[in-house]
């Protein structure tokens, strides 16, 4: 499991989420727009510089047709060495 060395926050692997975004919406920009966020905000999420809040996660599930039981796979898979 990897942690950010400055904050000791877990580092998440968003590969599965990004694949779903491409499959359903095509681009990260379209995903950001669907969440009512900026493309810059999504870049920071995918770079593990900030975290999605619970409202964003629930909205993303609606937009991307992610089942509640799959939230962990898409949003909380931690990177490993």
What pLDDT is recorded for position 9? 76
Q: What is the pLDDT of residues 34-54, one digit of tens each?
A: 999 999 999 999 999 998 999
Rounded to whole angstroms, how far apart are CA atoms 38 and 2? 27
Structural Rg of the chain based on CA atoms: 12
- pLDDT at residue 28 above 80? yes
pLDDT category of residue 73 using cuts at 50, 70 and 90: very high
Predicted confidence (pLDDT) at residue 65 exceeds the cutoff of 60: yes
Residue 26, pLDDT above cutoff 60: yes
* Cα 1 to Cα 81: distance, rounded to the nearest angstrom: 7
- How sure is the predictor about 80, in pLDDT bands with cuts at 50, 70 and 90? confident
Q: What is the pTM of this model?
A: 0.86
* Mean pLDDT of the 1-23 span: 81
């Amino acid at each position: 499991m990897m942690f950010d060395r400055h904050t000791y926050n877990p580092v998440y692997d968003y590969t599965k989420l990004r694949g779903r975004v491409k499959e359903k919406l095509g681009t990260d920009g379209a995903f950001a727009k669907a969440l009512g966020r900026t493309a810059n905000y999504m870049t920071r999420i995918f770079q593990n510089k900030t975290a999605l809040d619970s409202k964003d996660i629930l909205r993303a599930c609606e937009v991307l047709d992610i089942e509640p039981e799959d939230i962990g796979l898409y949003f909380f898979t931690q990177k490993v060495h």
